[in-house]
Structure 1
Amino acid sequence: MKINSAEVKNLEPIKTIAVSHVGEYAGIAGAFEKLAEWAGANNLWAASPKMAGVYHDDPMHTPAEKLRSEACLEDLSGIALGEGMKHYTISGGKYFVMQVEVNMSEYGEAWQKVYAEFNEKGYEYDMRDHYELYITCGDPEDENAPCTVDLCIPMK
């Protein structure tokens, strides 16, 4: 894992198409696969939409089987939603953003690092979306393929 930057930013809301997931956060891959297949079938990749994972619950205080998350694709098309999809707007505002380069096995470590730095700086959370925004990703079939990701924590 490599940390590229860590800074406070004012982020714009992102209108997305989302597939919800309930259960361990590591299990969200199936929701992303469904979204990616649908986007491909509808020729949405040409517009280069952003993808994001939104995490609603604190895994330290919520049982794994009750964790709620969203696999999101930026809505640039206005196309009708596929089955099991919904519109979801990722919240904007003041965020602590850590950009990291990780492979699939390093996401947990990356989130631990961003929360540790957030807490060390004495920042306060608020209730908006905690999310990861995918900047670049290698082959999703290769667990060692690097991804550049912005880890975004809302702050007061």
Structure 2
Amino acid sequence: MKINSTEIKNLEPIKTIAVSHLGDYSGIGPAFEKLCVWAGENALWAASPRMAGVYHDDPTHIPAESLRSEACLEDLSGIEPSEGMKQYTISGGKYFVMQVEINMSECGDAWKKVYDTFNEKGYEYDMRDHYDLYQSCTGDMEDPDAPWVVDLCIPMK
């Protein structure tokens, strides 16, 4: 894992099409796969939409099987979501953002690092969306070891 930057930013809300996931956050992959197939079938990739994972619950206080999350694709087309999908707007506002370069197996470690850094600085959370925003993949997206540039976003008071 490589940390590119850490900063406080005022982020704009992001309108998305989302697929909800219930269970351990590491199991959100099939929700992203469903979104990706749907985006391909609807020729949405040409607009270069970003993808994000939104995590609603604190895994240190909620059992893994009850964790709620959203796999999101930025809605640049205004297309209606298909069955099993919904429109979802990721919250904007003041965020602590750590940009990292990781492969998918490093996601958990990256989130631990951003929360450790956030807490060490004495910042306070609020109840808006905690999310990761995928900026780019610098390799073959089918390769689980391909490096991704990801913004890890924690809402601040």
Shorter-chain TM-score bucket reads over 0.9
Across the aligned residues of Structure 1 and Structure 2, the Cα RMSD in angstroms comes to 0.7
Residue aligning to 1:155: 156
* Structural mapping, 1:27-46, within 5 Å: 27-46=27-46
Residue aligning to 1:142: 143
Cα shift at 1:83:
1.2
Q: Following the alignment from structure 1 to structure 2, what is the Cα–Cα distance between the partners of residues 34 and 93?
A: 29
Cα shift at 1:139:
2.7
Q: Following the alignment from structure 2 to structure 1, what is the Cα–Cα distance between the partners of residues 143 and 73?
A: 21
Moved over 2 A (4+): 138-141
Cα shift at 1:142:
1.3
The Cα offsets for residues 78-113 of structure 1, whole Å up to 9 and x where unpaired, read as 112111000000000000000000001100110000
**Does the residue aligned with 1:116 lie in a helix, a strand or coil?**
helix
* Structural mapping, 1:15-34, within 5 Å: 15-34=15-34
- Where does the alignment leave 5 or more consecutive residues of structure 1 unmatched? none
Cα shift at 1:65:
0.3
Q: Following the alignment from structure 2 to structure 1, what is the Cα–Cα distance between the partners of residues 24 and 79?
A: 30
Give the share of equivalent positions with the same residue, in percent.
79
Cα shift at 1:143:
1.4
**Does the residue aligned with 1:96 lie in a helix, a strand or coil?**
strand
TM-score normalized with structure 2 length: 0.98
Residue aligning to 1:114: 114
Cα shift at 1:140:
3.4
Q: Following the alignment from structure 1 to structure 2, what is the Cα–Cα distance between the partners of residues 125 and 79?
A: 33
Q: Following the alignment from structure 1 to structure 2, what is the Cα–Cα distance between the partners of residues 131 and 12?
A: 13
* Structural mapping, 1:31-110, within 5 Å: 31-110=31-110
The Cα offsets for residues 11-34 of structure 1, whole Å up to 9 and x where unpaired, read as 000000000000010100000000
Q: How many residues align?
A: 156
Q: Following the alignment from structure 1 to structure 2, what is the Cα–Cα distance between the partners of residues 27 and 140?
A: 18
The Cα offsets for residues 37-92 of structure 1, whole Å up to 9 and x where unpaired, read as 00000000000111100000000000000000000001111112111000000000
**Does the residue aligned with 1:109 lie in a helix, a strand or coil?**
helix
Q: Following the alignment from structure 1 to structure 2, what is the Cα–Cα distance between the partners of residues 100 and 27?
A: 21
> What letter corresponds to residue 47 of structure 1 in structure 2?
A
Q: Following the alignment from structure 1 to structure 2, what is the Cα–Cα distance between the partners of residues 139 and 66?
A: 32
